[in-house]
Amino acid sequence: MSKGSFPRAPRRDGMSGRPGGRATPLIVALVAVVAAGLAGWLLWDASGGEDDTAGHPVAATSSAASPAAPAPRPSAVTSRPQAPSPSAGGATASPGPSAGEGAGVADGEAPRADGPLKGKVVLVDPGHNIRNSEHTAEINRSVDIGTGRKECDTTGTSTDAGYAEATFSLDVAHRLRTILRNQGAKVTFTHDGERPYGPCVTERAAIGNKAHADAAVSIHADGSAVGNRGFHVILPALVKGGAADTAPIVGPSKELGARIAGNFVRTTGSPPSNYIGGGTGLDTRGDLGGLNLSTVPKVFIECGNMRDPEDVGRLTDAAWREKAAQGIADGITDFLRGRATRVTEGRTSRPQPCHDGDTKKTPRAPRR
């Protein structure tokens, strides 16, 4: 029996309990009880019963009752794995650059126990972030770099085919971490692609400072004009202002950069830049917050020009990127072992970069 279709008493003439008869008190009472019961049921039904959450029937709100919507069916299409989103990646989403200042990303694996860099800490900074373009408001906000103000971060460049500098830098950083770990160094990243954007240049410097890194390198690729090719290493200028004071790190950073440049030439076969550094592969700048705010020896390396076809052929080749990582690692190793030797022997002389492992010459561009 459907709700609301209650049996009705047979029609009577007037108020009598039988056709043509007078109403008796018993029948009158019975009719009153039935009427009261019917009214009570209608009131219960209109209010939805005892508790909507308990699954009781609820009166329809439209003139025609609609059937309940079926539960959604699982999709039959299996989606391809995607990169973690800014809000969900792995266990929990990583904080933005405003949270966890200077935390960095520690290496999840222990370094080789008997390597030549045992006890050393290296900060590796993969340039930019592949998600920066999704957070332009955040990365465009200005931050204090000591000598002025600059953007929190930038999107970086890319090849004409769309291979992003951020993708390149993170790939080389991973390869570099593996090599350094096998040399016994503890490696800390400024980020590992897990952040929604950034970190800001100020935090990138703070992470290396907090880690008390023995050496720090920021990995990049340039976006210059076609025909401009080759790598160059950027050294910190002598600056002092606000939170910036590079006086303690200018000397050791120059040595670190020279070591990396010399080994990069030898390992990768790439020439020093033909448009920056006068053929030395070295450039000095005072407008980079990642260098200005560093308290540990630090350099940037622009591994090539992503807009020049010849350099693009190298940058997009995985085997060459492995060589690039090896060249950077060899330079860091030479720098750290050289400093350890001079401290042990009490020497203060500063050896020049090794171009071929035997001579002490600054790398120069090949003759064209």
Active site residues: 302
Burial class (CB in 10 A: 0-12, 13-18, 19+), 6: exposed
Rounded to whole angstroms, the Cα distance separating 271 from 275 reads 11
Task: Spell out the residues 6+ positions from residue 62 whose beta carbon is closer than 8 angstroms to its own.
Answer: none
Instruction: Tell me if 156 sits within 8 A of 197, measured CB to CB.
Output: no
C-alpha distances in Å from residue 217, one per residue of 91, 101, 172, 225: 29, 19, 12, 25
C-alpha distances in Å from residue 141, one per residue of 10, 165, 241: 83, 21, 20
Strand blocks (E) in 136-175: 142-144, 149-151
CA 310 to chain centre: 30
In this structure, what DSSP letter does residue 244 have? E
CA 338 to chain centre: 34
In the three-class reduction of DSSP (H, G, I as helix; E, B as strand; rest coil), residue 149 is classed as: strand
Rounded to whole angstroms, the Cα distance separating 215 from 209 reads 10
Strand blocks (E) in the chain: 105-106, 121-126, 142-144, 149-151, 186-189, 215-222, 232-236, 240-241, 244-245, 282-285, 298-305
Q: Which residues of 58-78 are buried (b: 16+ CB within 10 A; e: fewer)?
A: eeeeeeeeeeeeeeeeeeeee
**223, 224, 317: which is closest to 269 by C-alpha?**
317
